[in-house]
C-alpha cells in the first residue's frame, strides 16, 4: 500500500513536474524546487552545522546548498546536469555572498563521489533514491541523509515529518513529506563481554543480526538465554535484552559507542528503583554482515 502510494505520487510528480518550471528534459527527473520552508525544515532535521559538508544530489537552483552555507556556515556542493540551473545557482550564490563555501558542478549524480559528505540532501524519484541507497549505506557511519517526499524503500527513516505547504503544487499538492536517516555502523556479528554484577563477573554474548539500523538476535547471560533488540544511530548503539531468570523476566538496557571491533558504554541492570548502572565493554569475536533487503535494486 505504502509502495503503491509512493509510486502514484512519483507518477504525479513526473507528470506535473513536466509542466511546471521544468527547464529542460535533462537527467532522470525534471526540475521542481523544494519550497523554501521545506528546505529549512530538512536542514534542521539533518542538524546541519558549520562543520558539515552537504551535497545536494540534483541541486536545481541551488537552494539547499546556498541555505546550508548562508544559514549554518556549512560547506556545500550541488551537482546537476542542467546547465541553465547551474548558472542560476551560481548567480544566486554570488548574490547571497556564499561563493567561498559553495560549489556547483555539472555532473551526473549517479557518478558523483559523495563519500566526503557529512549530509546528503535529495528531492528525487523513489527509484533514484533506491539506486543510491547501497552507496549511501557504505558512507561513514553517522552521515545524515534528508529526502523530500520520497523515502528509501525498506530502509525506514529514523525520523519523518509531514508538512503543510500550501504553495506546493506537485506530488501530493499542499503536503511535503520529509525523511531523515543516519548511516548506521555495522554491528552485525557475535559480541562478548563481562559485566560485574554485585561483585560477580557474569559473561554475556550477543549474536546480532542487522537490517539497516535495526539490530536483534539471541543473547546469553550466565545460564540465561534471552533476546536482544535495538537500533544503531551512526556508531551509537542502544538495545534491550529480555530473558527469563530463575523466578521472573529480567530486562537489561545497553547503550554505547561502537569503534571498530569494540563497544564501550553503560548497562542498566534491573528495573525501577533497584536498577543499577555498570560499565559495559564488548568485543566482537565474529564479524557479520547487513541482512540483504528484499527490495535491493540490481547493481548495473
Ligand atoms: C526535483 S529537482 C530538485 C532540485 C533541488 N534539489 C530542490 O530540491 O529544490 C531534481 C533535480 O535533479 C536534477 N537531475 C535529474 N537527474 C539528474 C542526474 N542524473 N544527475 C544530476 N542531476 C540530475 C534535475 O535537473 C533537477 O534540477
| pLDDT tens figures, 115-171 | 999 999 999 999 999 999 999 999 999 999 999 999 999 999 999 999 999 999 988
Comparison of pLDDT for 236 and 300, the residue scoring more:
236
Pull the grid cell for residue 98. 556564499
Q: Which residue owns the Cα nearest ligand 1 atom 23?
A: 58
Pull the grid cell for residue 24. 529542460
Pull the grid cell for residue 258. 561502537
**What residues pair up with 264 in beta bridges, in sequence order?**
257, 281
What is the phi-psi region of residue 27: left when phi exceeds 0, alpha when psi lies from -120 to 50, beta otherwise?
Answer: left
Measured CA distances, 189 to 105, 226, 285, 289 (Å) = 40, 16, 8, 7
Query: Containing H/E element for 9?
Result: helix 2-19
Q: Which residue owns the Cα nearest ligand 1 atom 2?
A: 31
Where do the DSSP E strands lie in 23-140? 53-57, 75-80, 102-106, 119-122
Measured CA distances, 124 to 52, 111, 148, 298 (Å) = 22, 15, 8, 19
Give the residue-averaged pLDDT of 260-268.
Answer: 97
**pLDDT at 24 (0 to 100):** 54
Comparison of pLDDT for 47 and 23, the residue scoring more:
47
Q: Which residue owns the Cα nearest ligand 1 atom 27?
A: 60
Q: What is the C-alpha to C-alpha distance for residues 178 and 152, in angstroms, rounded to an integer?
A: 12
Residues near ligand 1 (Cβ within 6 A): 26-29, 31-34, 56, 58-60, 63-64, 79-82, 85, 108-110, 123, 148
Q: Which atom of ligand 1 is nearest to the CA of 17?
A: 1
Mutational pocket test of ligand 1: of 29, 85, 89, 110, the residue with most ligand atoms within 8 Å of the beta carbon: 29
Q: What is the C-alpha to C-alpha distance for residues 201 and 265, in angstroms, rounded to an integer?
A: 17
Residue 87 near residue 67, CB atoms below 8 Å: no
Ligand 1 centre to CA of 57 (Å) is: 7
**pLDDT at 42 (0 to 100):** 98
**pLDDT at 171 (0 to 100):** 87
Measured CA distances, 225 to 97, 105, 228 (Å) = 61, 55, 10
User: Does residue 22 surpass a pLDDT of 80?
Assistant: no
pLDDT-wise least confident of 32-41, 137-146, 191-200: 191-200
Pull the grid cell for residue 147. 529526502
Q: Which residue owns the Cα nearest ligand 1 atom 6?
A: 59
Instruction: Give the single-character DSSP code of 97.
Output: T
Measured CA distances, 48 to 43, 53, 160, 190 (Å) = 6, 9, 16, 34
**What residues have CB less than 8 Å from 215, skipping those under 6 apart?**
187, 188, 208, 209, 228, 229, 230, 231, 232, 237, 239
Report the first-to-last Cα separation within the chain, whole angstroms: 27
Amino acid at each position: 500500500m505504502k509502495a503503491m502510494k509512493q509510486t502514484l505520487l512519483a507518477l504525479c510528480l513526473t507528470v506535473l513536474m513536466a509542466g511546471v518550471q521544468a527547464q529542460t528534459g535533462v537527467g532522470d527527473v525534471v526540475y521542481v524546487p523544494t519550497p523554501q520552508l521545506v528546505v529549512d525544515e530538512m536542514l534542521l532535521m539533518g542538524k546541519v552545522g558549520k562543520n558539515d559538508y552537504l551535497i545536494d544530489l540534483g541541486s536545481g537552483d541551488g537552494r539547499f546548498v546556498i541555505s546550508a552555507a548562508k544559514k549554518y556556515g556549512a560547506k556545500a556542493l550541488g551537482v546537476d546536469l542542467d546547465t541553465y540551473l547551474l548558472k542560476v545557482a551560481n548567480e544566486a550564490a554570488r548574490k547571497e555572498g556564499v561563493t567561498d563555501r559553495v560549489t556547483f558542478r555539472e555532473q551526473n549524480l549517479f557518478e558523483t563521489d559523495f563519500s566526503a559528505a557529512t549530509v546528503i540532501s535529495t528531492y528525487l524519484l523513489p527509484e533514484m533514491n533506491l539506486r543510491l541507497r547501497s552507496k549511501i549505506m557504505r558512507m561513514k557511519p553517522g552521515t545524515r541523509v534528508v529526502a523530500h517526499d520520497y523515502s528509501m524503500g525498506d530502509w525506514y527513516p529514523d525520523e519523518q515529518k509531514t508538512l503543510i505547504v500550501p504553495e506546493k503544487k506537485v506530488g501530493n499538492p499542499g503536503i511535503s513529506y520529509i525523511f531523515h536517516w543516519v548511516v548506521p555502523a555495522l554491528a552485525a556479528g557475535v559480541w562478548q563481554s563481562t559485566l560485574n554484577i554485585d561483585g560477580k563477573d557474569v559473561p554475556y554474548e550477543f549474536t546480532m543480526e542487522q537490517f539497516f539500523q535495526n539490530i536483534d538476535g539471541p543473547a546469553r547471560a550466565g545460564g540465561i538465554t534471552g533476546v536482544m533488540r535495538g537500533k544503531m544511530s551512526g556508531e551509537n548503539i542502544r538495545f534491550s535484552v529480555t530473558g527469563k531468570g530463575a523466578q521472573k523476566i529480567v530486562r537489561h538496557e545497553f547503550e554505547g559507542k561502537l569503534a571498530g571491533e569494540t563497544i564501550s558504554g553503560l548497562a542498566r541492570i534491573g528495573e525501577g528503583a533497584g536498577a543499577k548502572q555498570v560499565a559495559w565493554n564488548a568485543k566482537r569475536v565474529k564479524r557479520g554482515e547487513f541482512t540483504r533487503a528484499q527490495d535491493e535494486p540490481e547493481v548495473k
